[in-house]
Chain A
Amino acid sequence: MAIKPLTQPSSASSAAISLSKIAVSNTHGEDSPYFAGWKAYDENPYDESSNPSGVIQMGLAENQVSFDLLEKYLEKNSSDPTSSGRVSSFRENALFQDYHGLLSFRKAMASFMEQIRGGRAKFDPERIVITAGATAANELLTFILADPGDALLVPTPYYPGFDRDLRWRTGVHIVPIHCDSSNAFEITPSALDSAYSDAESRGLRVRGVLITNPSNPLGATVKRAVLEHVLDFGALKNIHLVSDEIYSGSAFSDREFVSIAEVLEARGGRGSERCHIVYSLSKDLGLPGFRVGTIYSYNDAVVTTARRMSSFTLISSQTQQLLATMLSDEEFTAGYIETNRERLRRRYRMIVDELGRAGIECLKGNAGLFCWMNLSPFLKDETVEEELALWECILREVKLNISPGVSCHCAEPGWFRVCFANMSEQTLQVALARIHDFVERRRGNQ
């Protein structure tokens, strides 16, 4: 009897061809509570007039507080692509698919990034690689810095989207650097060491550390000393450091944000070939729809490779052109940055003070579009189950979609991320009133 070689089924009637492992896996993470809350909001969205008892979306880190500034700018400066002048013609722009990205756009981004850092760091436009959003930038960097099966160390709590962005198609693992409330969730040397050993014991090769500074979901900037330590750790282990600085322009005060770029410059660039910065206009400028992300790398090989890979995720030249013009207007950008910071700080104070009056504490924050709220006193037990039960209760009864700490891989149950910049002040007041009432009811029941 002949031995049949292993081949594919000879007819289509036998097992239908499956999709790829990546396609059928759930590493895209859309089954987590983070997304379930969005669905509840979609089905019953709050509207001041037409649906005042609907769900208020406080799980979306969008910046809607400074649109008027952008709109005013656009009105003043025609963005008509058919007009001739210092911007390229429609034809030239439509043809421009060079993966280096428009030079004028890169120059404008470099200057904007410098302004955000108060001029304390310089950015070379030739080191800027364009990507369609920070989502793409983070994934791309992971493809470049790590092989399938390797690991990146990421401090918890972290942005839920990282589970998809860093792991899904890349096959790379995230090993958490556990942080907790005992020291305001700061990264400690021992936590970093533990994470590294953890990875080693799992047989995973660590290729880098990825931090978000300012942090999402903490809403706080990373201290200089911590940055120094992480840099030293990277040098010791000879691994990369990715600093996602997407919220850099959302720090309430310019002086409180220290970028890895500044620390590197202070060190004379020593070890910089290990460092890469991710940025985007989705948060600071409130333009997530335009898909504008960048990778800034001090490593030439990474810049070259990232550029080639960016072919899969270029920014529309139409959008590059618009932003090149807007961001090179330094008077406009300086005014925008300052006003935006001020408005975010005001919103933050509003929510934190009101929550304080209701007896709810938040982590001391100084950046971002959200606050990190501590509801652990309201948990029957400090468990994930109780946290999720409370989350569900807040979603269904209080009709607020907030993000439970477990979706951010927080090691301590009871913390929630609450966004405050994606709605009007009136809506925020309504939300705060609802929380106030909820807390009163809870106290009444206890």
Chain B
Amino acid sequence: MTISKKAACNSHGQDSSYFLGWEEYEKNPFHESTNPNGIIQMGLAENQLSFDLLESWLAANPDAASFKRDGQSIFRELALFQDYHGLPIFKNALAQFMAEIRGNKVRFDPNNLVLTAGATSANETLIFCLADPGDAFLLPTPYYPGFDRDLKWRTGVEIVPIQCTSRNGFRITSPAVEEAYKLAQKRNLKVKGVLITNPSNPLGITLSRKELNLLLNFVEKKGIHLISDEIYSGTVFDSAEFVSIMELLPNRNNPQLMNRVHVVYSLSKDLGLPGFRVGSIYSNDRLVVAGATKMSSFGLISSQTQYLLSAILSDQVFAKKYVVENRMRLRNRHTVLVSGLRRVGISCLESNAGLFCWVDMRHLLSSDSLEAEMELWKKVVYDVGLNISPGSSCHCAEHGWFRVCFANMTEDTLDLAIRRIKSFVDSISPIKHCRNSRSKSISKWVSRLSFHDRECDR
């Protein structure tokens, strides 16, 4: 008695360094008071900066979490509601929220929204709808490690990378896209579409109009799909800088193209609610909406949660305020990390979104190789005590880049993390430390680092 090939293979990607880093963190997790020398989790793209806003809303509006509407119990109604079309008030509120995030430059029709248990489910469902086993989707690198599982595992679909490099800030170019397409053909894979994440994970940058247009040109020419995972759309520090693929479609005046562009969204990042499993697919193609809706039976959102969120998001005054405040906090956090790293000679890709920075540690590699990157990564996890994500786990074409998250911890913890990095950099290259540093004994073991020992105070 055996299990299936799918079960036995490792396309779930669980053995990648991305997940192994998590495991190390779990064994020795940092805690401010109970385990100050533990590993700080910087590999988890969570947004913990704006919970207080949600908590105070909830305290002021207790009905939403208590199955009540205007003081009346709707428990029964919600308990029985399993319609895969989703709770209308929730879809309306979600559609509105998505528009708000895009500065109301785009309108979303709730009838074109399909609800799924998280973006993980949304992405997999879309691939099931758009591609057959053995087909391929093109993805720009570096990309979110989870895609290897979400897009390939049960669907049997392949990912062919569109290589992006630091030569041009990891921007997507036409030659790179064409090259990926040719590579797929050489491998006898039928390309069914392109999937982008905008803003990008792990880069933390919004895609430019130029990039979006070249992609639209490409999918138009090839007659294939374009999926835009916009899960980080609410984390753009300056809203004016985010251009959603949906904004560019009307100008194209091509209804067939319109039907081949699909957007994925979720409340896991913008609202910091990954536990609630709230994802969605937006498509103008009625067949895709119909197919995905039926498939969503395998991953519906709890009606209890749909109701709670419909109440929060329907409060448009609150929702607007939340979006603005959240952006600002993320921007400030981002600055703390970027400037902290800069002071120890580490630069980041210039970014304007996301919950992480794309950090350039190439100069710290012993050689330009995967082995050297892994060696550096292990040092950072075990010796420095930071779980960061190596670029190789994101399929980056270059060695030495790391994704470092900044929104899943307190500011004090972030400061500590930066101090640990400084200590590490100093220890491996004493001449590289900051000009304003006070002299202190250089120690490889960060456990001896005093809490008040701050170099280069602002």
Contact = CB atoms under 8 A, between A and B. Distances in A.
Nearest to B292: A23
A426 interface: no
Contacts of B129: 19-20, 22-23
A289 B51 contact: no
B4 A289 contact: no
A12 B73 CA distance: 53
Q: Among the interface residues A9, A238, A318, which one has the most CB atoms of the partner chain B within 10 A?
A: A318
A380 interface: no
Contact of A312 (B62, B124, B190): B124
Contacts of B5: 147
Nearest to A89: B55
Contact of B287 (A8, A19, A21, A288): A19
Contact of B14 (A97, A148, A207, A308): A308
A94 interface: yes
Given A23-B128, A145-B3, A316-B301, A94 B51 contact: yes
A184 to B, nearest CB: 30
B82 interface: yes
Interface stretch (B113-121, B206-214, B330-338, B435-443): B113-121
Nearest to A15: B223
Contacts of A91: 48, 51, 55
Interface of A: 7-12, 14-17, 19-24, 28, 30, 62, 64, 67, 70-71, 74, 78-82, 90-91, 93-97, 132-133, 135-136, 139, 143-148, 150, 164-165, 169, 207, 238-240, 273-274, 282, 286-292, 301-302, 305, 308-309, 311-319, 322
Given A20-B128, A90-B58, A164 B297 contact: yes
A289 B273 contact: no
A94 B287 contact: no
B224 interface: yes
Contacts of B288: 19, 23
B130 A19 contact: yes
A143 B4 contact: yes
Nearest to B257: A12
Contact of B75 (A67, A207, A291, A319): A67
A30 B65 contact: no
Contacts of A301: 3, 7
B1 interface: yes
Contact of B299 (A23, A132, A302): A132
B110 interface: no
Nearest to B260: A17
A150 to B, nearest CB: 8
A71 B73 contact: yes
Nearest to A137: B298
Contacts of B167: none
A197 B356 CA distance: 57
A171 to B, nearest CB: 8
B223 A16 contact: yes
B321 to A, nearest CB: 18
A273 B1 CA distance: 9
15 contacts: A10-B221, A15-B223, A23-B288, A70-B79, A71-B73, A82-B58, A95-B272, A132-B277, A136-B298, A146-B4, A164-B294, A169-B154, A288-B80, A302-B3, A316-B301
Contacts of A165: 298
Given A12-B256, A289-B304, A318 B275 contact: yes
Closest 10 A/B residue pairs (Cβ) = A317-B275, A289-B303, A12-B223, A316-B302, A23-B291, A97-B274, A289-B81, A96-B275, A288-B82, A313-B299
A67 B305 contact: no
Contact of B80 (A24, A90, A289): A289
B118 A314 contact: yes
A2 B339 CA distance: 59
B192 interface: yes
Contacts of A67: 75-76, 79
Contacts of A70: 75, 79
